[in-house]
């Protein structure tokens, strides 16, 4: 892994290679402004009131290259989930910048979110009374999968995560492992180019884990990137292009 990918000093956006020459996107334009799936620099996030601030991320830098699979590990509370939430655009960084294929999380919100998918570390995020098929179809609509491709995308997601037999079953009647597969199907149904996974192996059996690995490989094969976060010590059974450790608010090679 290149050391430059883990530099800790802040680089101004205009100094980043390629950024100054990139024209502002047309409103509603979804063409990538950069081929880099993820570029984050000078990233910091702290919590609490001014007098008792806790800094979780500090001056952090991370670049994901096309086709790469990266693991970020760390102890509980190290800030892995915070890092993913900041990259996903769920919470704003206290300082620093994030770009997904050159898109800004707020200025180019739609283009940014169309390319990105985030699986949080829980068993939630589903409507209990919807069937598996309706659930995935709903998230495909919200993710702006065009109508002409939606039925096929949903059918593929059901197939990819071995959910075909469960497609008419309500989510609140599924086991935890089955729910996790539904959550994965919801994450991958829009064919994202940057996938953020927070402890994705939760509750998955061997077959479920294999479907996840296959989905990750498909993303990487089409030039996307995957960022996998999990605690230290969790067996991964997957070959990563890079392994990083989030420790003392910064990333370093694991």
Partner 1 sequence: MRTSVSLYRDAVLGVLDRDWTTFKSYRMQLITQIASVFFALALFHFISRLVHVQVFGSRNSYFSYVVIGMIIIEVLQSTLMVGSSLQGELVAGTFERVMISPFGPVAAVLSSMIFPFLSSFVGALITLFFGTVVFGLHVHWSTAALAIPIAFLAAGSFAAVGLIFCSSTVLFKRIIGGAGMLITGIALVSGLYFPIALLPGWISWFSNVQPFTPSVDLLRHVLVDTPLRQSASTDLLKLVGFLVVLFPTSVILLRGAMRLGMRRGTIIEY
Residues lying near partner 1 in the complex (CB under 8 A) are found at 28, 45, 47, 82, 85, 88-92, 109-110, 113-114, 116, 118, 120, 122, 124-130, 134, 137-139, 141-144, 146-147, 150, 170, 186
Distances (CA, A) of 28 to 25, 115, 212: 8, 14, 32
CA–CA dist 201, 181 (Å, integer):
10
CB of 3 to partner 1, least distance (A): 30
CB of 195 to partner 1, least distance (A): 12
CB of 172 to partner 1, least distance (A): 10
CB of 118 to partner 1, least distance (A): 5
CA–CA dist 154, 133 (Å, integer):
7
Which residue's CB is nearer to partner 1, number 179 or number 201?
Answer: 179
Which residue's CB is nearer to partner 1, number 16 or number 115?
Answer: 115
Which residue's CB is nearer to partner 1, number 3 or number 26?
Answer: 26
CB of 86 to partner 1, least distance (A): 9
CB of 18 to partner 1, least distance (A): 25
Which residue's CB is nearer to partner 1, number 194 or number 216?
Answer: 194
Which residue's CB is nearer to partner 1, number 82 or number 202?
Answer: 82
Phi, psi of 54 (to 5 degrees): -115, 120
Which residue's CB is nearer to partner 1, number 89 or number 96?
Answer: 89
């Amino acid at each position: 892994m290149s050391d430059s990918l883990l530099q800790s000093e802040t680089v101004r956006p205009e100094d980043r290679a390629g950024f100054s020459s990139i024209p502002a996107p047309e409103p509603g334009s979804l063409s990538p402004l950069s081929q880099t799936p993820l570029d984050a620099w000078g990233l910091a996030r702290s919590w609490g009131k001014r007098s008792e601030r806790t800094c979780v991320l500090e001056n952090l830098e991370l670049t994901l290259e096309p086709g790469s699979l990266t693991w970020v590990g760390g102890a509980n509370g190290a800030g892995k989930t915070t890092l993913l939430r900041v990259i996903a655009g769920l919470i704003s960084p206290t300082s620093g910048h994030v770009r997904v294929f050159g898109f800004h999380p707020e200025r180019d919100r739609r283009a940014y979110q169309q390319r990105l998918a985030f699986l949080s570390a829980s068993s939630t995020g589903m409507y209990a009374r919807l069937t598996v098929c309706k659930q995935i179809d709903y998230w495909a609509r919200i993710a702006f999968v065009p109508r002409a491709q939606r039925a096929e995308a949903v059918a593929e997601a059901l197939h990819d995560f071995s959910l075909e037999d469960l497609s008419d079953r309500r989510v609140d009647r599924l086991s935890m492992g089955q729910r996790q597969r539904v959550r994965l199907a919801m994450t991958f149904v829009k064919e994202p180019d940057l996938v953020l996974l927070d402890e994705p192996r939760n509750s998955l059996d061997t077959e479920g884990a294999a479907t996840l690995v296959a989905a990750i490989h498909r993303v990487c094969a089409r030039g996307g990137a995957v960022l996998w976060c999990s605690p230290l010590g969790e067996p991964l059974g997957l070959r990563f292009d890079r392994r990083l450790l989030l420790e003392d608010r910064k990333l370093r090679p694991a």
